């Protein structure tokens, strides 16, 4: 029996270890992009009584060409608190350990943003993490613009086009 108890305790400890660092509320959502833009929010708001809970939400998307990224999240203060306490708002490439773009708080506002240019094509995820400070219902929302930047070969094609135009003009001039 004692052995059993020991085993159980070990199992419990292992379980706790595995879950350490996991947030109370986690949501993984694929962004519904329209021409590279989307607004996003936790599918369910933080219900009244979520005070003290931590959250870690992921919003994923795929870009097939190089792009610029601009995004922000905002929320509202409630009562004596700022409602939510945000600890991170970052852009990660899937599989990457460190963020590609790190968000920062817009001074004196319940708003964080990140901005970056010439990011490479691939799978990405926007991560929003923090904790709930208020005992009343609250939520946050965000918006993102992912604009494709012309690839190097697009510029090359434009240059080639100019070249052909120049040649034609030259031939016409000579012919006249």
Partner 1 sequence: MKKILHLAFAAFLGASAFSSAHAASVSHVTQPLDVSKKAVSYGASFGSGLSGGLFTDKFSFSLAAGSSLQADVSSTAPLTRGLDITDFRLIGSNGQVLYTVNQVSTGIVDLWKINAGALSAGNYTLEIVGKVNSQFAGSYSGNLLVQTAAVPEADTYAMLLAGLGVVGVVARRRKSA
Residue 11 CB, nearest distance to partner 1 (Å)?
Answer: 38
**Cβ closest to partner 1, residue 106 vs residue 162:** 106
DSSP assignment of 97-123: SS-SEE-EEPTTSSEEEEEEEEEPSEE
Binding site for partner 1 (CB under 8 A): 34-42, 45-48, 68, 70-78, 106, 109-111, 113, 115, 136-145, 147
Question: Looking up tokens 């509320």, which residue turns up?
Answer: 25
- CA dihedral (66, 71, 91, 76) in degrees, to 10, reads -170
Task: Give the shortest CB-132-to-partner 1 separation in angstroms.
Answer: 11
User: What number of CA atoms fall less than 13 Å from residue 108's CA on the CB side?
Assistant: 0
Based on CB atoms, which residue is closest to partner 1, 49 or 166?
A: 49
Minimum Å gap between C-beta 122 and partner 1 is 20
Q: Which lies closer to partner 1 via its Cβ, residue 37 or residue 60?
A: 37
Minimum CB–partner distance for residue 70 and partner 1 (Å): 4
Query: What sign results for the dihedral spanned by CA atoms 77, 83, 85, 88?
Result: negative
């Amino acid at each position: 029996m004692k052995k059993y108890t020991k085993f159980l305790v070990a199992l419990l400890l292992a379980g706790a270890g595995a879950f350490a660092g996991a947030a109370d509320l986690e949501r993984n959502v694929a962004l519904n992009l329209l021409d590279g833009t989307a607004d996003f929010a936790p599918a369910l708001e933080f219900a009244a009584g979520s005070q003290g809970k931590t959250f870690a939400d992921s919003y994923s998307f795929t870009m097939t060409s190089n792009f610029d990224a601009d995004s922000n999240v905002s929320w509202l203060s409630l009562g004596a608190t700022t409602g939510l306490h945000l600890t991170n708002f970052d852009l990660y490439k899937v599989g990457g350990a460190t963020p590609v773009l790190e968000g920062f708080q817009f001074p004196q506002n319940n708003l964080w943003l990140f901005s970056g240019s010439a990011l490479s094509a691939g799978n990405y995820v926007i991560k929003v993490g923090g904790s709930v400070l208020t005992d009343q219902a609250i939520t946050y929302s965000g918006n993102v613009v992912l604009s494709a930047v012309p690839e190097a070969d697009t510029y090359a094609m434009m240059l080639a086009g100019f070249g052909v135009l120049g040649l034609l003009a030259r031939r016409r001039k000579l012919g006249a």
